[in-house]
């Protein structure tokens, strides 16, 4: 067991730092510092020499790798315990068969203390002691000074180790934010949430927690700024729309805004099935083509994109992403889908599209429109829409063939479809935006 003497302190929740008897020490060469950081991150867990060699050297393992590793371990032992006799096992850095293990004495290592505090806070939550739980979470997240292992020269093979520690911090921040907001003390968690948001700019739950906490703390303008920044970052870097957590946080800010004198803005609710940061990989070129068509249409020109391919290649997912991008630019995005098998009603996709357009009309105007008035007006996101209904050519009771057409317009963009069929004749719908 490691000594209970706390004269040695180590930090890995942020830059790697070492203190002995109050004096800060240099961890040594980059590879030696990396070895120590890995063992601290995995404190209490034996790490095999083979894994350590892979982590340090990856594909460029020298023939003397094991000997170099043993040299680094010996130097770290002497750094932590300079009075240690030669070949003594030491109190902290120990050899376990073909593995190395770091044993942390109480009060020695920040990651051990962090986990103890989080476990205790979770216990307080289970015991329905939210105030005590919040205190525990805040003490835990207060130990962090930045990204785990910050400044240590580790490669891609070691990234997951330190990213896993960061994720523990993010989860604790989210839990603390929920408690702080519920208890009416959101200011207490803001410093840690700001740090977590800087560490993980694309982590939607962290960003959503920051937005909610800022709004609860009486800072709705900053909350909206954070949302807009994250939304733009997701669109630019991942080509995705905000996910449910961000959308819900945004809506809560907007609900608070009128009461606090803030200017209102339309909620950023993505269309059903809009992709989030967890999907749509490897379609940047195709998505750029779709975006160009949308931008061309919104600029007053025309835009048409046809997507084809074998089942399962991602056609729908691509269109969902393009629809999300169009939605963010103020377009009304509606969907029409064919049914599997025979018996699909005539014009069924267009019926779905027109039904969605009708739902976009305010209830009062919708009643007049359905009653047959020729023109009604509505507004959505500052755009005036005129919708009218006329009968298709022919008799509604006739079973003779008839021709139906549908046209939809936004600016100078028109989509049209024309079908010849037989049986009872549906009405013809025309929707235009000016």
Residues 132, 39 share a domain:
no
Instruction: Give tens-digit pLDDT for 45-72.
Output: 999 999 999 999 988 899 999 999 999 9
What pLDDT, on a 0 to 100 scale, did the predictor assign at position 299?
59
**CATH, residue 152:** 1.25.40.10
Query: In this predicted model, which residue has the larger pLDDT, 290 or 102?
Result: 102
Place 198 in a pLDDT band, splitting at 50, 70 and 90.
Answer: very high
Place 105 in a pLDDT band, splitting at 50, 70 and 90.
Answer: confident
Other CB atoms within 10 A of residue 37 CB: 25
Instruction: Give tens-digit pLDDT for 344-354.
Output: 556 667 766 77
What global pTM score does this model have?
Answer: 0.60
Residue 268 lies in a domain: no
What pLDDT, on a 0 to 100 scale, did the predictor assign at position 26?
94
The pairing of beta strand 402-410 with beta strand 428-433: parallel
Place 276 in a pLDDT band, splitting at 50, 70 and 90.
Answer: very low
Residues 256, 142 share a domain:
yes
**CATH, residue 61:** 1.10.10.10
Residues 128, 34 share a domain:
no
Residues in the chain: 434
Residues 93, 116 share a domain:
no
Which residue, 227, 260, 293, sits at the end of a domain? 260
Cβ neighbours of residue 342 closer than 8 Å, sequence gap 6 or more: none
What pLDDT, on a 0 to 100 scale, did the predictor assign at position 434?
26
Place of tokens 């969902």: 320
Residue 299 lies in a domain: no
Handedness of CA 233, 248, 213, 223 (dihedral sign): positive
User: What distance in Å separates the CA atoms of residue 155 and residue 199, rounded to the nearest whole number?
Assistant: 18
Residues 146, 68 share a domain:
no
Instruction: Give tens-digit pLDDT for 143-195.
Output: 999 999 998 877 777 888 999 999 999 999 999 999 999 999 999 999 999 99
What pLDDT, on a 0 to 100 scale, did the predictor assign at position 193?
97
Which residue, 239, 260, 281, sits at the end of a domain? 260
Residue 167 lies in a domain: yes
DSSP for 328-382 reads HTT-------PPSSS-PPTTHHHHHHHHHHHHTS-HHHHHHHHTT-S-EEEEETT
User: What distance in Å separates the CA atoms of residue 171 and residue 178, rounded to the nearest whole number?
Assistant: 11
Nearest Cα to Cα of residue 44 among 120, 89, 100 = 100
To 5 degrees, how large is the angle CA 360–CA 365–CA 367? Answer: 100
Residues 132, 66 share a domain:
no
Residue 336 lies in a domain: no
User: What distance in Å separates the CA atoms of residue 178 and residue 182, rounded to the nearest whole number?
Assistant: 6
Residue 253 lies in a domain: yes
Instruction: Give tens-digit pLDDT for 120-144.
Output: 999 999 999 999 999 999 999 999 9
Mean pLDDT (the chain) is: 76
Residues 253, 114 share a domain:
yes
Place 312 in a pLDDT band, splitting at 50, 70 and 90.
Answer: low
Residue 320 lies in a domain: no
Residues 70, 138 share a domain:
no
Instruction: Give tens-digit pLDDT for 219-242.
Output: 999 999 999 999 999 999 988 899
To 5 degrees, how large is the angle CA 27–CA 28–CA 31? Answer: 100
Which residue, 75, 102, 129, sits at the end of a domain? 102
* Total number of domains in the chain: 3
Q: Domain of residue 385: give its range.
A: 348-393+402-433
Residue 307 lies in a domain: no
What pLDDT, on a 0 to 100 scale, did the predictor assign at position 301?
58
User: What distance in Å separates the CA atoms of residue 37 and residue 57, rounded to the nearest whole number?
Assistant: 15
CA 322 to the chain's CA centroid: 18
Query: In this predicted model, which residue has the larger pLDDT, 198 or 105?
Result: 198
Residue 2 lies in a domain: no
Strand order in the sheet with 8-11: 8-11, 17-20, 23-25
Residues 115, 256 share a domain:
yes
Residues 17, 81 share a domain:
yes
Residues 93, 12 share a domain:
yes
Longest dimension (CA), the chain: 104
Place 423 in a pLDDT band, splitting at 50, 70 and 90.
Answer: very low
Residues 97, 137 share a domain:
no
User: What distance in Å separates the CA atoms of residue 269 and residue 328, rounded to the nearest whole number?
Assistant: 9
DSSP for 209-221 reads HHHHHHHHTT-HH
């Amino acid at each position: 067991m490691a000594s209970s003497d706390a004269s040695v302190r180590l930090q890995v929740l942020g830059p790697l730092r070492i203190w002995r008897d109050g004096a800060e020490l240099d961890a040594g060469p980059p590879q030696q510092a990396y070895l120590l950081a890995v063992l601290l991150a995995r404190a209490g867990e034996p790490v095999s020499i083979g894994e350590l060699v892979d982590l340090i050297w990856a594909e460029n393992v020298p023939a003397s790798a094991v000997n170099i590793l043993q040299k680094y371990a010996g130097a770290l032992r002497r750094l932590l315990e300079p009075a240690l006799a030669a070949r003594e096992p030491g109190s902290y850095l120990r050899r376990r068969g073909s593995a190395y293990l770091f044993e942390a004495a109480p009060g020695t290592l920040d990651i051990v203390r962090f986990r103890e505090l989080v476990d205790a806070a979770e216990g307080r939550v289970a015991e329905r002691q939210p105030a005590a739980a919040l205190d525990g979470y805040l003490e835990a997240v207060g130990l962090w000074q930045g990204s785990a292992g910050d400044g240590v020269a580790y490669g891609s093979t070691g990234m997951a180790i330190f990213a896993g520690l960061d994720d523990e911090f993010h989860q604790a921040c989210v839990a603390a934010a929920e408690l702080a907001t519920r208890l009416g003390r959101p200011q207490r968690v803001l410093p840690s949430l700001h740090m977590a948001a800087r560490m993980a700019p694309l982590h939607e739950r962290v960003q959503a927690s920051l937005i909610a906490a800022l709004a609860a703390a009486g800072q709705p303008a900053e909350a909206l700024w954070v949302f807009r920044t994250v939304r733009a970052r997701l669109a630019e870097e991942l080509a995705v729309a905000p996910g449910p957590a961000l959308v819900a946080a945004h809506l809560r800010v907007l609900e608070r805004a009128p009461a606090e004198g803030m200017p209102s803005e339309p909620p950023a609710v993505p269309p059903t099935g809009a992709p989030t940061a967890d999907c749509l990989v490897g379609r940047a070129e195709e998505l750029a083509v779709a975006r160009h068509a949308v931008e061309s249409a919104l600029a007053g020109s025309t835009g048409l994109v046809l997507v084809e391919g074998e089942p399962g290649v991602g056609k729908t997912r691509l269109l969902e992403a393009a629809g999300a991008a169009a939605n963010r630019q103020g377009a009304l995005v509606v969907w029409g889908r064919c049914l599997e098998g025979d018996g699909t009603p005539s014009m069924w996709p267009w019926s779905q599209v027109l039904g969605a357009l009708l739902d976009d009309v305010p209830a009062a105007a919708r009643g007049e429109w359905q009653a047959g008035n020729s023109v009604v007006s509505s507004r959505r996101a500052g755009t005036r829409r005129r919708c009218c209904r006329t009968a298709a050519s022919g008799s509604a009771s006739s079973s003779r063939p008839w021709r139906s057409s549908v046209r939809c317009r936004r600016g100078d963009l028109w989509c049209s479809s024309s079908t010849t069929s037989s049986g009872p004749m549906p009405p013809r719908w025309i929707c235009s935006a000016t």
